[in-house]
Structure 1
Amino acid sequence: MRALPLMLGWLLVVLLALAGPAQAQPAETDGQTANATLANLLENEETRQQLIEQLRGMAEASAAEPPPEEAPTASLPRQLAEITSRVANDIGGQLGNALDVLRTMGSGDLDSTFDMEAFTSATINLGLVILATLVLFLAFRRTAKPLFTNISQWSLNGEGLTPVLRLIICVALAALVDVLIVALAYLGGNLLATFAIGETGELSTRASLFLNAFLVIELLKAGVRMLFASRYEGLRLLPITSDEAAYWNRWIARLIGLIGYGLMVVVPGINVYISPALGQSVGTLIMFGAFIYAVAVVMKNRLRLRDAIDNKARQATMAASRVSLQLFARTWHLFALAYFVMVLVVTLTRPVDALPFVLFATLKTIAAVVVGLLLSSFLTQTIGRRINLSDDLRRKLPMLEARLNSYVPNALRVIRTVILALVVMLVLNAWGAFDLAAWYASESGSNLVGKLISVAVILVFAIGVWLALASLIEHKLNPETGSGTPSARAMTLLTLFRNALAIALVTITLMIVLAEIGINIGPLIAGAGVLGLAIGFGAQKLVQDIITGVFIQVENAMNTGDVVTVGGVTGTAERLSIRSVGIRDLNGTYHIVPFSSVDTVSNYMREFGYHVGEYGIAYRESIDDAIIALREAFDELAADEEHKMSILAPLEVAGVIALADSSVNIRVRIKTTPGTQWSTGRAYNRLVKLHFDAKGIEIPFPHTTLYFGVGKEGEAPPANLRVMQQPFDIDGRPGGQPRSGESSRAGEEDPRSKPNPEFKGDFDED
């Protein structure tokens, strides 16, 4: 980016123009004569009394005269025209005086006042002072080069601090060393000029002018090196490449040297040895040259700098910053040209009082912008760094790290915006467009600052309370900490409490902030009450949802993860709020059931569950054998590793519950842990089928009757059947052959075929 270096270069030029006596004025002989005459009058008592009386008479006459009418204020175009005319006249007069001086020098009229021998001697002595001072300075710089290299390397590769903090510390150290080098060279030059060059023990005016100019110019160059540091990447404050830094450092250093030594050494020398008029003209030409140079640099780099600022805008994370940078990219050269024109006009029209104002305003602007850039860079790097908590704290509070990485960057972005606003206010204050001190001392300013600080404290406190309470709730919900895995009721209630806490904190914080900034929240609360009453009448269903939901939670009717039937929908409760319940059914469909439509909550996950099975056998099968097969299937299920932990009690056999049309129905029941009754039932059904098949027990199923006959037309032949002569018993088996598993001893009964005596009353009536 080249805008900031360009503006800094121009500001340093202005500083050099003000650092020394650019224009030496001749002694005013008439003023000295008038002062001497006034002193003589005051020493004589008689003349002093007469003077007093004359002054009193003039005062009375002035009081008796009517006040003069105020001249109408000239319009802005007229004022600009007058300023332009005055500047043109001044410049024309200066050029005319310079031409007269040159004409006089050409004619030889100045030979009587110009001492060539003294001029030659002074030039030689000054050249020796300049040479000695520059040699000392270059020697000190070369000696300190390894120190600068080490400081730069630590800034780039050091550890323990953020890059911005390391950069600031290293730049400060390098600047201190640079200032010490300049001071040592200045001191050495003074010693040489006093004791080794010219008359011993005296410091000539010419040498003093150069040494003072050297001190000011090299200190300014040190400031430029602090910004660019073309040779040391770790000591460069501005985020630009080495080539860009070398470009701006080289041209600004040349500009500083040319204008600084010209205005602070050459112009005073011309004033002393030739003519003040010529020196003033040379100073004006130098300022015009600087202005033309600055305009040329601006126009040369206008497009390139616009593209660089656009790239920065695309990297911005905040929309306001992005839009501001894009607007500045297209208008920066206009601001720069306006600034250069203003400085030139002020330099030419009001050199006595305006230039110091421009100087200090510019320096304040540079300081505010540089400090703001450093703080912004520090905050940007801090925002970009992820906050990492310890493993133990992350295990106990899994959501705390995510919250901190969400809240802290946003807070730092707000702080960066505040810094930007403060920099803008400081810049406006520096140029007189805004009196920051007076505004802060005023009642409105102090109240605004106090309110902003109070609001910031309130927000920080509210966020801290939320983080503490939310972390405490998560600590209770975390199965790895606290008292172990929380119950479903605890999880539901704590989750609802966390949501209610968030709503309450936001509402209370908003009310306190509004009250702090001066908004009367009494009517707001009253209006909210009336609005709530209107909503209560218009949204009775919503109120009913909330009230029913509160009682459902208080009675612990269901929790997240329970299998329930609510509002005619059966499934797993995935989400519970104060108003509704979200249920996922067996098909994966997600249902939201408002509590106002809930009449009954059927929860299948309380304490235990039952698998109730009804198994039908054919009328020709033995009921006792079927019950034995059912018990054997249960025994095998209870021995299975996968299901034995889910069974809480022995098999309950209710017995025959119905003599249906085609089957005899037998009911059994298995007590299981809550939620496992369905899987246990599926496994038991499989085993029952296997055991029935092994024992040859038929499970009835629908039968189809086939009719073999002749149609009306006689087209189908009849089916002939042959009857076997072997006798069969009533069950279809050969006579006297026992069934599989049937005892051959008549009258003997298996005890496993009996129902449970203690089971009476569960399904049977007395």
Structure 2
Amino acid sequence: MSVRHQAQSLRGLTALLSLLLVMLTTALPAQEAPPSGQDYAELATLLENDATRQQLIDQLRGLQAAANPAPLGLQGEVPASEIAAQSPSGQTAEQVSLARRMAAATGSLAGDMGRQFAALSGLVTGWFASDDSAVEAAATTSVNMKAVTAALLNLAILVVITFVVFWALRMLAGSAFGRLSNWARGGSEKLAILRTTVGVAVAALLDVIVVALAYLAGTFVAPLLTEQLGADATRLALFLNAFLIVELAKAGLRMFFSSQYEGLRMLPVAAEQARYCNRFLAREAGLIGYGMLVLVPVLNFNVSQAVGSGAGTLIMLVALAYAAVVIVRKRQVLRDALTERANASYGPMRLALLLLARIWHWLALAYALLVFAVTVLHPETALPYVAMATLETLIYVGVGLLVSVALGQLIGKEIQLSDRLNASMPRLQARVNTYVPSGLKVIRALILILVVVLSLDAWELYDLAGWYATTAGAQTVSALIDILIILALAALVWVVLASLVEHKFSPREDSTPAEAARGETLLGLFHTTMAITIIIMTTMIVLSEIGIEIGPLIAGAGVLGLAIGFGAQKLVQDVITGIFIQLENAMNTGDFVSVGGNSGTVDRVGIRSVALRDLYGTYHIVPFSSVDAVSNFTR
């Protein structure tokens, strides 16, 4: 930059600073003279230049940092731009190292926790100490112990009444829960998952009704306490809202870990394990729910924001420690259970369960630490996000497991057909038991992929809806669905056509040996022809769905067929001659014939050749193009 340009920039920056100082000091008795028109013009010129505008911004940030110094980790997270300003090399925000930004974030977390615990300990010391400093601390926090005691007493009355009503209603509903459990455990094994689902749904509805009635009882008592005892309606409403949220969450836990009613438990775990999991998760929900939704807001309003934040941090720290202890103690138990479940599964589900068995405790610890960190740093924004993402993930996983287990139980390990169908179509049952389990594996793999994709979208690792709104996303999903439908229809067409051919040509009890032999011959011929036709057509349609132009492929196949027709006339002659031999019923499997200079028993009749085994055991393959005459000694 030239000296003249630097001087012009300096004058413009000076003019802008003067203008800002005049605007900030307009309320003072002594005002400076307003800037001249030339200053305005120079200021506008400099603001149009990106370089000089950035210099001005850096100078203003430097003045602000000099006016309000704050040590790292005590005044919140330091922006990357300020870290860059402190860097000796003058790096930009994008160039600041990741380690330095992580240090700033962890320093902010430690500083916030330190201030919160200091305020909380100061309040507790002020309550229980007896010297002058305690009196001064109590006066500073402005805590009226008599008012606090009265408020706690009023709140305790509401808590006792609400929970007494809740437990009484739970006892009355116990008989209904028991009957639902017995009904869900009875009946056929194939419909067990459906009965369990219906039973759990009805039990959850009863659970919600019980919680709602207890909540209504509390809302009826709360106005009486407000009118008769002068209780604070806001505190009572805080407890009632927390009661509704926490008890509904516990009702959701009972759907998966019902400890008293085995038939109303969605997860296939033992009663002792279900009882332990239900007790652990219910304690965590109660501690976090009532603590963060009742205690922390009361402390924030009646004592101070710092004390409320400290109490919230202490609650989450206790919940984190409890969760970590339970996870570490039970890591091997759950690992063995998942490994046993994986050994009973197959395909992608088995691999997923084996991987989860090895790393589940690390995932659980990372999740608990994440919840603790976001609660301390950004409780107003991050905590609802984590709660909603967790709820959506649990719903996706639960629905995926339910559908997968339901399909497995409804289909069963082996499909049994009637004796009449097996007599007319003897290969149908084996064919169905081949394709249906394969299709079930594909469906389970797709369910697993869908659950993973939706769970990642719930945590906002990417925007699934935004991707689907694009042309590429919509086309990809549409093509995938179309391909699955095409493959399913191709398998269905193959099963139906093969079954019809079997029904037409399969030997019957009253069939003669000649008819049985001809039926076996035609069955092999038709099966081969249909399989080749269906595979070629399915492949062409799938290639068309994924965007590959099949017109050139068809044209190329025609040219290739023409070339093969000229270059392999013998092959074409074999096929055509074989078709006419089959139409004339010249020979069938099991006949003793003489063709092409070889004699023997027909072992196989194909599309282009016939296989013979002579009296010496020699196996001959005779192309149909070399067959001038067929001598059938069996007839």
Conserved 8 A contact 2:593-2:602: yes
Conserved 8 A contact 2:154-2:225: no
Q: CA deviation at 1:438?
A: 1.0
What are the equivalent positions in structure 2 for 1:501-512 lying under 5 Å apart?
501-512=530-541
Provide the rounded CA distance (Å) in 2 between the counterparts of 1:60 and 1:381.
76
The answer on 1:68 being equivalent to 2:68 is no
Provide the rounded CA distance (Å) in 2 between the counterparts of 1:194 and 1:62.
65
Q: CA deviation at 1:296?
A: 2.1
The answer on 1:96 being equivalent to 2:118 is yes
What are the equivalent positions in structure 2 for 1:22-37 lying under 5 Å apart?
none
Q: CA deviation at 1:232?
A: 0.9
What are the equivalent positions in structure 2 for 1:6-155 lying under 5 Å apart?
63-64=47-48, 66-68=52-54, 71-73=92-94, 74-105=96-127, 106=129, 107-109=134-136, 113-155=142-184
Q: Which residue of 2 aligns with 1:178?
A: 207
Q: CA deviation at 1:480?
A: 4.9
Provide the rounded CA distance (Å) in 1 between the counterparts of 2:43 and 2:392.
45
Count of residues paired in the alignment: 553
The answer on 1:361 being equivalent to 2:347 is no
Q: CA deviation at 1:177?
A: 0.2
Provide the rounded CA distance (Å) in 1 between the counterparts of 2:242 and 2:391.
19
Q: CA deviation at 1:194?
A: 2.4
| Deviation sequence 1:718-761 (CA, Å, 0-9, x none) | xxxxxxxxxxxxxxxxxxxxxxxxxxxxxxxxxxxxxxxxxxxx
Q: Which residue of 2 aligns with 1:673?
A: none
Conserved 8 A contact 1:193-1:203: no
The answer on 1:264 being equivalent to 2:293 is yes
What are the equivalent positions in structure 2 for 1:232-271 lying under 5 Å apart?
232-271=261-300
Conserved 8 A contact 1:194-1:201: no
| Deviation sequence 1:401-456 (CA, Å, 0-9, x none) | 33222222222221221111111111111111121111111111111111122222
| Larger helix percent | 2
Provide the rounded CA distance (Å) in 2 between the counterparts of 1:350 and 1:270.
18
Q: Which residue of 1 aligns with 2:485?
A: 457
Q: Which residue of 1 aligns with 2:66?
A: none
Q: Alpha carbon RMSD of aligned pairs, Å?
A: 3.3
Q: CA deviation at 1:519?
A: 1.6
- 1:248 corresponds to which letter in structure 2? C
The answer on 1:468 being equivalent to 2:496 is yes
Provide the rounded CA distance (Å) in 1 between the counterparts of 2:227 and 2:395.
41
Q: Which residue of 2 aligns with 1:374?
A: 402
> Partner of 1:144: helix, strand, or coil?
helix
Q: Which residue of 2 aligns with 1:550?
A: 579
Provide the rounded CA distance (Å) in 2 between the counterparts of 1:223 and 1:282.
27
CA, structure 1 residues 63+371, in 2 after alignment: closer, same or farther (shift >3 Å)?
same
**One of 343, 349, 363 as aligned partner of 2:377:** 349
The answer on 1:305 being equivalent to 2:334 is yes
**One of 252, 256, 260 as aligned partner of 1:231:** 260
Provide the rounded CA distance (Å) in 2 between the counterparts of 1:401 and 1:497.
19
> Partner of 2:151: helix, strand, or coil?
helix
Provide the rounded CA distance (Å) in 2 between the counterparts of 1:198 and 1:404.
73
- 1:87 corresponds to which letter in structure 2? L
The answer on 1:417 being equivalent to 2:445 is yes
Provide the rounded CA distance (Å) in 2 between the counterparts of 1:490 and 1:229.
59
What are the equivalent positions in structure 2 for 1:330-729 lying under 5 Å apart?
330-478=358-506, 480=508, 486=515, 489=518, 492-528=521-557, 542-543=571-572, 545-567=574-596, 569-585=598-614, 591-595=620-624, 598=627, 600-606=629-635
| Deviation sequence 1:508-561 (CA, Å, 0-9, x none) | 111111122112334444554566567678867655543443343344321223
Q: Which residue of 1 aligns with 2:65?
A: none
Conserved 8 A contact 2:122-2:137: no
CA, structure 1 residues 337+157, in 2 after alignment: closer, same or farther (shift >3 Å)?
same
Alignment identity in percent?
49
- 1:72 corresponds to which letter in structure 2? A
Conserved 8 A contact 1:194-1:200: no
| Deviation sequence 1:106-150 (CA, Å, 0-9, x none) | 312366644343333322222221111111111101100010011
Provide the rounded CA distance (Å) in 1 between the counterparts of 2:519 and 2:506.
11
Out of 356-365 and 469-478, give the one that drifted further. Answer: 469-478
CA, structure 1 residues 111+550, in 2 after alignment: closer, same or farther (shift >3 Å)?
closer
Provide the rounded CA distance (Å) in 2 between the counterparts of 1:187 and 1:203.
18
| Deviation sequence 1:597-637 (CA, Å, 0-9, x none) | 5454320133xxxxxxxxxxxxxxxxxxxxxxxxxxxxxxx
> Partner of 1:199: helix, strand, or coil?
helix
CA, structure 1 residues 575+350, in 2 after alignment: closer, same or farther (shift >3 Å)?
same
The answer on 1:222 being equivalent to 2:251 is yes
- 1:321 corresponds to which letter in structure 2? M
- 2:53 corresponds to which letter in structure 1? P
CA, structure 1 residues 94+417, in 2 after alignment: closer, same or farther (shift >3 Å)?
same
| Deviation sequence 1:473-512 (CA, Å, 0-9, x none) | 2221245599999575565345412321121111111111
The answer on 1:288 being equivalent to 2:309 is no
Out of 342-351 and 483-492, give the one that drifted further. Answer: 483-492
Provide the rounded CA distance (Å) in 2 between the counterparts of 1:263 and 1:315.
42
Q: CA deviation at 1:152?
A: 0.8
CA, structure 1 residues 524+249, in 2 after alignment: closer, same or farther (shift >3 Å)?
same
Provide the rounded CA distance (Å) in 2 between the counterparts of 1:236 and 1:392.
41
Provide the rounded CA distance (Å) in 1 between the counterparts of 2:278 and 2:458.
26
Larger Rg: 1
The structure, 1 or 2, with the larger RCO (C-alpha pairs under 8 Å, 6+ apart) is 1
Provide the rounded CA distance (Å) in 2 between the counterparts of 1:349 and 1:118.
31
Out of 109-118 and 451-460, give the one that drifted further. Answer: 109-118
Provide the rounded CA distance (Å) in 2 between the counterparts of 1:486 and 1:311.
53
CA, structure 1 residues 312+494, in 2 after alignment: closer, same or farther (shift >3 Å)?
closer
What are the equivalent positions in structure 2 for 1:320-335 lying under 5 Å apart?
320-335=348-363
Provide the rounded CA distance (Å) in 2 between the counterparts of 1:482 and 1:441.
63
Provide the rounded CA distance (Å) in 1 between the counterparts of 2:486 and 2:395.
32
Gaps (5+ residues) in structure 2?
Answer: 1-26, 28-33, 35-39, 56-80, 82-91
- 2:135 corresponds to which letter in structure 1? G
- 1:90 corresponds to which letter in structure 2? D
Out of 211-220 and 115-124, give the one that drifted further. Answer: 115-124
Gaps (5+ residues) in structure 1?
Answer: 1-40, 42-49, 51-55, 607-766
Conserved 8 A contact 2:507-2:516: no
Out of 332-341 and 483-492, give the one that drifted further. Answer: 483-492
Provide the rounded CA distance (Å) in 2 between the counterparts of 1:64 and 1:597.
93
CA, structure 1 residues 300+172, in 2 after alignment: closer, same or farther (shift >3 Å)?
same
CA, structure 1 residues 240+57, in 2 after alignment: closer, same or farther (shift >3 Å)?
farther
- 2:444 corresponds to which letter in structure 1? R
CA, structure 1 residues 342+115, in 2 after alignment: closer, same or farther (shift >3 Å)?
closer
Q: CA deviation at 1:398?
A: 3.1
Conserved 8 A contact 1:87-1:348: yes
CA, structure 1 residues 207+534, in 2 after alignment: closer, same or farther (shift >3 Å)?
same
Q: Which residue of 1 aligns with 2:11?
A: none
Q: CA deviation at 1:273?
A: 4.2
Conserved 8 A contact 1:475-1:482: no
- 1:443 corresponds to which letter in structure 2? T
| Deviation sequence 1:636-682 (CA, Å, 0-9, x none) | xxxxxxxxxxxxxxxxxxxxxxxxxxxxxxxxxxxxxxxxxxxxxxx
TM-score by length of 2: 0.79
CA, structure 1 residues 317+592, in 2 after alignment: closer, same or farther (shift >3 Å)?
farther
Q: CA deviation at 1:596?
A: 5.1
Conserved 8 A contact 2:225-2:231: no
CA, structure 1 residues 239+587, in 2 after alignment: closer, same or farther (shift >3 Å)?
farther
